[in-house]
């Protein structure tokens, strides 16, 4: 070997040593640390994993918009994507226009369940602790990335059937309510035992969620006491609503002659917790005492099945829906005074609402309905059943609906009479649009982002924090526990009730 | 397509034609589409018979004369014996049915006198009882021979006749005879043998101790007056548990709840008891413990009044009525079972409760859960039963003070309202009960033990 060659080789070898030394020093090869992300923008996926239409779809879209707008206002580099299931409850036309305007990509997905053992390579540092013990995981199959590249996922629903969400990134679950705790009949369809087993199994996801997002203190206390979510992992975001301003410019005049002299809008859907039996009984009493009173217009998802059975549609065959349909059909007062409009688009609903005499809301229990807020927006007073979430919503939006006892049909009849006699004063008591705008989605966006920001932008997970005696806390969640003592991270919930 | 098809002859193949009547050139009337089942059966039998015969001929043709003859003989024998075998089978079946019926009757009879036990378990229980009797007698004889033992104290009344061998003063404790107060609730739970033992124990006793005046009068003298009427009866109430005053510490423990309804509930969260509002009823679900009223009240609170509350009980068992109620009303996530807790876990459970509710329809004496709750800074609601009133009236605590702590024992609506009110007025209620506790706690376990010692040491033979 010539000296030159030897020198070259020696230089090469020493160069190789330098390169190896660099490799060993590079953090990405350190076993316990994850390298800093190479991209600067954090990706958040907002996912609606079930075929929801109506308010839930609208809520999910609004949340995505609030996060995007909030991040933009704070200068955070954030990319928001939206995934949804396209099914029978297909999104109304124009539902995604606002996402499009903000450059938020949205795509359909199919939610499937896979055995976890088939995941060959997963970044364990980003998976919740003890996650590997779960037999199956959910996959949000969009045919593109399955949202695997999201840094954070926000799943707008706890109806996670068949597995536990997301082994590849921290995730939050939005839980609007736990109606089944108060109205168990909503789960008593088909094989009740199977339904309940499935629904209780869905709650396993809570123990792996980085946080659970709620919009009311009722939902917060139920998430804590019923679903077992520790308070430290609850994030209560402010209620907000989406003014149907568009409908003001797109005029769709009411052509139904039956509605010419005023009407009451009853916004509902076809689920038992909407309390149709009591409301219909109350309406019967009301109309028998007041035959000249304005008719009632039913609108909402699946309410068209109350008018007639739709061949081939299984919703028409649900026993509860049949019962309500028969109740209406066999009641002369109701046949005369009840008009079923079914599910309307936003603009049609807005047109209907703005000319209404009053709005009726009769649920036994839910997370509060924004229909009363929308009614107030159009200067329409509301008659509502009284329950905690509704009181909370009314207080948040400075509304004073006329309350009735949800279990007492006579109370509804009396309050309807009272409300119709005092329409003027009730209208005068409604907040103005300017007051309501302070609670709009856009106005509350920054507050929502401020609450979610510490969760979403926590950065890559730190090194192993050591053993935990709590199965319910993810690694990334535990590192935030200390920070949760700072009450600015969530709105103050009521003290233990 | 078959040619020359005669619609009057139904062959198995005609099924295809009949099933698909529309064929080129053939138009069958609807009536002919109906399958002639009888005719088909005939054809099948005929073909089977001929098939069997053909099989027999085939087999026979491959056998030599001797096996064939043997086969024929066997066939003849089988056909001759078939009738008696059939008759024998029918007779055996009838005997078996009768035997089963008798066994069922026997099982029922044993069950009514056993503790919901099957026949073999009842027999085993009797064997164990007999062994217990023998051993008790043997021990009794030893006690009798020991001159250092002056008197005997038996803290229950289930031993019965084996005590007879001890000719020394015997002081027996009679806790209660709740199965006499609620005989149908205890149907099958307590057998005649147990009642007999209680009667015998009272008969043999030289002095009897009860935990409360109410039990002494309404149960001991009422059910066992013949044996107890002329015996000295002492009422020694339960003393207060000062030791239960557990210091307040930042206890970070999680209790595991037993999922009693896995067919309905796949997953029961491990609730953080320091955060979750719940009522606790530390008791075993026995027939007089009145769990059902409390379950109904909790159901009303959650479903009608929308109160955020759970119920936790330490019972290791759930009786069928309660189980049905919980399932029917889908309350398996709000009614929690935490059995077999150690003292520290029990103290933790009580300390973090919003209320202790004691719903029992009957007790032998003072309510332990009252002192347990109050020393843990948890207010207590109790059913309005005589022993509860006696507990407070003994210390001259006026009814106007303790009336609001009581609820009508079987009225779930009233209990729901009482709980709702107590959850709101928790601090005020606790403050009142602390005052009462100060009175009651003057009589502690030491005082109680001294009273027992006094009775036992001064006991004399009654006869």
pLDDT tens digits, A439-468: 888 999 999 999 999 999 875 432 222 233
Candidates B270, B308, B331, partner chain A, best to mutate (most A CBs within 10 A): B308
Candidates A226, A229, A363, A495, partner chain B, best to mutate (most B CBs within 10 A): A226
Question: Residue A264 — left, alpha, or beta (φ > 0 → left; ψ -120 to 50 → alpha)?
Answer: beta
Strands B406-407 and A78-84: unpaired
Q: Tell me whether residues A180 and B330 touch, CB distance under 8 A.
A: yes
At residue B219, the pLDDT reads: 93
The alpha-helical segments, DSSP class H, found in A226-345 are 246-249, 276-289, 314-317, 319-329, 332-337
Q: A80, A147 in Cβ contact below 8 A?
A: no
Residues of A contacting chain B (CB within 8 angstroms): 180-184, 187-188, 193, 196-198, 200-201, 203-204, 206-207, 221-222, 224-228, 230-231, 365, 387-388, 407, 469-472, 496-497
At residue B164, the pLDDT reads: 83
Q: Tell me whether residues B303 and A182 touch, CB distance under 8 A.
A: yes
At residue B118, the pLDDT reads: 57
User: Within chain B, which residues score under 70 in pLDDT?
Assistant: 1-35, 56-66, 106-121, 190-191, 242-250, 463
Q: Tell me whether residues A228 and B275 touch, CB distance under 8 A.
A: no
Which chain B residues are Cβ-neighbours of A184 within 8 angstroms? 303, 329-330
Q: Tell me whether residues B266 and A184 touch, CB distance under 8 A.
A: no
Q: Tell me whether residues A228 and B272 touch, CB distance under 8 A.
A: yes
Q: B182, B189 in Cβ contact below 8 A?
A: no
Closest Cβ–Cβ partner in A197, A228, A469 for B264: A197
Q: Which is higher by pLDDT, A164 or B71?
A: B71
At residue B131, the pLDDT reads: 85
What residue of B is the nearest CA neighbor of A407? B304
Q: In angstroms, what separates the C-alpha of A153 from chain B's closest C-alpha?
A: 23
Q: What are the CA-CA distances from residue A44 to residues A456, B183, B226 (Å)?
A: 8, 66, 82
Beta-ladder partners of B209: B173, B234
C-alpha dihedral (B215, B221, B224, B227), degrees to nearest 10: 130
Closest Cβ–Cβ partner in A188, A203, A225 for B310: A225
Helix (H) or strand (E) holding A164: strand A164-165
Q: Which is higher by pLDDT, A249 or B93?
A: B93
Candidates B256, B265, B267, partner chain A, best to mutate (most A CBs within 10 A): B267
Closest Cβ–Cβ partner in B254, B276, B309 for A224: B276
Q: Tell me whether residues B267 and A472 touch, CB distance under 8 A.
A: no
C-alpha dihedral (A133, A139, A140, A146), degrees to nearest 10: 110
Q: What are the CA-CA distances from residue B347 to residues A336, B243, B250, B354, B376 (Å)?
A: 63, 11, 13, 13, 8
Asked if pLDDT for residue A309 goes beyond 80, the answer is: yes
How distant is the alpha carbon of residue A352 from its chain centre? 25
Q: B269, A207 in Cβ contact below 8 A?
A: yes
The alpha-helical segments, DSSP class H, found in A217-331 are 217-225, 246-249, 276-289, 314-317, 319-329
Residues in chain B: 463
At residue A17, the pLDDT reads: 62
At residue B252, the pLDDT reads: 76
Closest Cβ–Cβ partner in A188, A203, A231 for B269: A203
Asked if pLDDT for residue A478 goes beyond 70, the answer is: no
**Number of neighbours of residue A83 by Cβ within 10 angstroms:** 28
Q: How far apart are CA A47 and CA A158, in angstroms?
A: 11
Statement: the pTM of the whole predicted model exceeds 0.90: no
**Number of neighbours of residue B104 by Cβ within 10 angstroms:** 10
What residue of A is the nearest CA neighbor of B333? A226
Q: Which is higher by pLDDT, A189 or A195?
A: A195
Q: In angstroms, what separates the C-alpha of B280 from chain A's closest C-alpha?
A: 15
Q: How far apart are CA A372 and CA A390, in angstroms?
A: 9
What residue of A is the nearest CA neighbor of B423? A497
Helix (H) or strand (E) holding B56: helix B37-61
Q: Tell me whether residues A470 and B254 touch, CB distance under 8 A.
A: yes
Q: Which is higher by pLDDT, A158 or B413?
A: B413
Q: Tell me whether residues A193 and B263 touch, CB distance under 8 A.
A: yes
Which chain B residues are Cβ-neighbours of A385 within 8 angstroms? none
- Report, as an integer, the average pLDDT of A278-300: 94
Quickly tell me which residue has 């970070």 as its tokens. B252
A129-146: per-residue pLDDT in tens?
667 677 778 888 888 888
Beta-ladder partners of A359: A265, A382
- Report, as an integer, the average pLDDT of A304-329: 91
Q: A239, A439 in Cβ contact below 8 A?
A: yes
Which chain B residues are Cβ-neighbours of A387 within 8 angstroms? 306
Strands A110-115 and A136-141: antiparallel
Which chain A residues are Cβ-neighbours of B273 within 8 angstroms? none
At residue A480, the pLDDT reads: 36
- Report, as an integer, the average pLDDT of A56-72: 92
Quickly tell me which residue has 């997953």 as its tokens. B267
Q: How far apart are CA B100 and CA B106, in angstroms?
A: 10
Closest Cβ–Cβ partner in B254, B266, B269 for A197: B266
At residue B305, the pLDDT reads: 92
Banded pLDDT at A245 (limits 50, 70, 90): low
Q: Tell me whether residues A193 and B264 touch, CB distance under 8 A.
A: yes
Report which listed range, A11-15, A83-87, B9-13, B348-352, is most confident.
B348-352
Report which listed range, A185-194, A199-208, A388-397, B5-14, is most confident.
A388-397
Q: In angstroms, what separates the C-alpha of B293 from chain A's closest C-alpha?
A: 19
What residue of B is the nearest CA neighbor of A208? B269
Closest Cβ–Cβ partner in A180, A365, A470 for B306: A365
Closest Cβ–Cβ partner in A182, A188, A200 for B306: A182
Closest Cβ–Cβ partner in A203, A224, A387 for B275: A224
Residues of B contacting chain A (CB within 8 angstroms): 254, 263-272, 275-277, 302-304, 306-310, 329-330, 333-334, 354, 423
Strands B380-383 and B170-174: unpaired
Which chain A residues are Cβ-neighbours of B266 within 8 angstroms? 197-198, 200-201, 204
At residue A122, the pLDDT reads: 67
Q: Tell me whether residues B269 and A497 touch, CB distance under 8 A.
A: no
Banded pLDDT at A260 (limits 50, 70, 90): confident
- Give B162: exposed, middle or buried? Use CB within 10 Å, 0-12, 13-18, 19+: buried
Which chain B residues are Cβ-neighbours of A198 within 8 angstroms? 266
At residue B29, the pLDDT reads: 46
Q: In angstroms, what separates the C-alpha of B86 from chain A's closest C-alpha?
A: 46
What residue of B is the nearest CA neighbor of A194? B264
In terms of Cα–Cα distance, which of A268, A53, A272 is closest to A180? A272
Q: In angstroms, what separates the C-alpha of A48 from chain B's closest C-alpha?
A: 23
Residues in chain A: 497
The CA-CA-CA angle for residues A144, A149, A153, to 5°, reads 105
What residue of B is the nearest CA neighbor of A388? B306
C-alpha dihedral (B419, B424, B429, B431), degrees to nearest 10: 150
Banded pLDDT at A496 (limits 50, 70, 90): very low
- Report, as an integer, the average pLDDT of A168-195: 87
At residue A30, the pLDDT reads: 47
Beta-ladder partners of A440: A241
């Amino acid at each position: 070997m010539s000296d030159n060659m030897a020198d070259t080789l020696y230089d090469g070898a020493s160069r190789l040593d330098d390169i190896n030394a660099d490799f060993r020093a590079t953090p990405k090869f350190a076993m316990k640390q994850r390298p800093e992300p190479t991209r600067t923008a954090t990706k958040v996926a907002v996912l609606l994993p079930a075929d929801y239409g109506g308010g839930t779809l609208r809520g999910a879209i609004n949340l995505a918009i609030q996060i995007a707008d909030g991040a933009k206002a704070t200068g955070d580099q954030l990319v928001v994507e939206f995934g949804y299931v396209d099914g029978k409850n297909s999104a109304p036309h124009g539902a995604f226009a606002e996402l499009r305007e903000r450059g938020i990509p949205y795509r359909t997905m199919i939610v499937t369940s896979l055995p976890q053992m088939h995941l060959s390579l997963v970044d364990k540092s980003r998976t919740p602790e003890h996650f590997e013990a779960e037999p199956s995981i959910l996959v949000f199959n969009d045919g593109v990335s399955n949202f695997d590249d999201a840094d954070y996922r926000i799943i707008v629903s706890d109806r996670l059937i068949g597995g536990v969400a997301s082994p590849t990134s921290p995730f939050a679950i939005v839980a609007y309510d736990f109606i089944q705790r108060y109205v168990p009949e909503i789960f008593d369809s088909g094989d009740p035992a199977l339904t309940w087993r499935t629904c209780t199994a869905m709650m396993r996801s809570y123990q792996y969620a980085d946080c659970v997002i709620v919009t009311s203190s009722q939902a917060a206390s139920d998430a804590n006491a019923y679903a077992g979510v520790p308070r430290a992992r609850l994030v209560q975001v402010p209620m907000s609503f989406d003014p149907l301003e568009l409908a003001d410019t797109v005029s769709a005049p009411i052509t139904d002659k039956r509605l010419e002299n005023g009407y009451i809008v009853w916004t509902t859907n076809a689920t038992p917790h909407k309390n149709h039996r009591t409301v219909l009984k109350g309406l019967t009493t009301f109309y028998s005492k007041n035959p000249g009173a304005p008719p009632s217009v039913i609108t909402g998802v699946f309410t068209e099945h109350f008018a007639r059975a739709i061949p081939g549609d299984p919703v028409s065959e649900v026993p509860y829906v049949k019962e309500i349909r028969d109740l209406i059909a066999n009641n002369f007062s109701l046949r005369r005074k009840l008009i079923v409009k079914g599910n309307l688009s936003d603009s049609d609903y807005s047109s209907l609402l703005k000319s209404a005499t009053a709005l009726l809301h009769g649920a036994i229990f839910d997370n509060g309905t924004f229909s009363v807020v929308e009614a107030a927006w159009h200067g329409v007073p509301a008659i509502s059943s009284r329950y905690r979430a509704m009181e909370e919503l009314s207080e948040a939006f400075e509304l004073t609906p006329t309350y009735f006892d949800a279990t007492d049909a006579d109370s509804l009849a009396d309050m309807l009479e009272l409300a119709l006699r005092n329409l003027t004063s009730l209208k005068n008591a409604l907040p103005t649009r300017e007051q309501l705008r302070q609670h709009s989605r856009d106005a509350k966006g920054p507050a929502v982002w401020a609450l979610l920001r510490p969760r979403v932008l926590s950065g890559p997970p730190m090194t192993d924090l050591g053993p935990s005696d709590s199965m319910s806390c993810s690694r990334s969640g535990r590192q935030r526990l200390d920070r949760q003592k700072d009450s600015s991270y969530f709105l103050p919930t009521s003290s233990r009730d | 397509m078959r040619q020359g098809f005669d619609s009057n002859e139904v062959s198995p193949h005609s099924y295809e034609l009949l099933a698909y009547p529309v064929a080129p050139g053939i138009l069958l009337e609807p009536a002919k589409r109906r399958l002639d089942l009888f005719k088909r059966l005939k054809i099948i039998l005929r073909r089977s018979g001929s098939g069997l015969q053909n099989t027999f001929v085939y087999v026979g043709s491959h056998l030599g004369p001797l096996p064939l003859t043997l086969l024929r003989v066997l066939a003849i024998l089988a056909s001759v014996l078939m009738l008696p075998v059939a008759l024998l089978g029918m007779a055996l079946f009838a005997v078996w049915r009768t035997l089963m019926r008798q066994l069922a009757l026997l099982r029922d009879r044993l069950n009514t006198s056993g503790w919901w036990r099957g026949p073999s378990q009842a027999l085993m229980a009797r064997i164990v009882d007999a062994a217990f009797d023998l051993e008790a007698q043997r021990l009794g004889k030893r006690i009798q021979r020991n001159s250092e033992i002056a008197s005997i104290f038996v803290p229950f009344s289930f031993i019965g006749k084996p005590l007879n061998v001890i000719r020394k003063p015997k002081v027996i404790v009679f806790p209660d005879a709740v199965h006499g107060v609620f005989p149908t609730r205890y149907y099958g739970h307590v057998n005649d043998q147990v009642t007999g033992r209680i009667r015998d124990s009272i008969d043999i006793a030289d002095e009897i101790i009860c935990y409360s005046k109410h039990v002494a009068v309404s149960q001991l003298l009422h059910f066992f007056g013949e044996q107890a009427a002329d015996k000295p009866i002492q009422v020694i109430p339960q003393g207060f548990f000062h030791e239960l005053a557990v210091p307040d510490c930042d206890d970070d423990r999680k209790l595991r709840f037993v999922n009693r309804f896995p067919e309905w509930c796949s997953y029961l969260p491990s609730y953080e008891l320091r955060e979750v509002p719940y009522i606790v009823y530390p008791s075993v679900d026995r027939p007089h413990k009145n769990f059902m009223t409390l379950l109904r009240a909790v159901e009303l609170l959650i479903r009608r009044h929308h109160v955020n509350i759970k119920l936790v009980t330490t019972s290791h068992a759930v009786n069928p009525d309660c189980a049905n109620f919980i399932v029917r009303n889908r309350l398996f996530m709000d009614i929690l079972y935490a059995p077999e807790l150690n003292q520290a876990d029990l103290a933790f459970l009580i300390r973090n409760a919003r209320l202790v509710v004691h719903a029992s329809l009957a007790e032998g004496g003072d309510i332990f859960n009252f002192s347990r709750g109050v020393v843990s800074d948890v207010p207590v609601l109790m059913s309005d039963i005589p022993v509860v009133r006696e507990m407070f009236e003994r210390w001259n605590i006026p009814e106007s003070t303790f009336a609001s702590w009581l609820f009508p024992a079987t009225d779930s609506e009233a209990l729901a309202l009482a709980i709702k009110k107590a959850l709101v007025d928790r601090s005020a209620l606790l403050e009142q009960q602390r005052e009462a506790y100060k009175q009651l706690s003057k009589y502690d376990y030491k005082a109680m033990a001294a009273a027992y010692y006094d009775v036992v040491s001064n006991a004399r033979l009654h006869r």
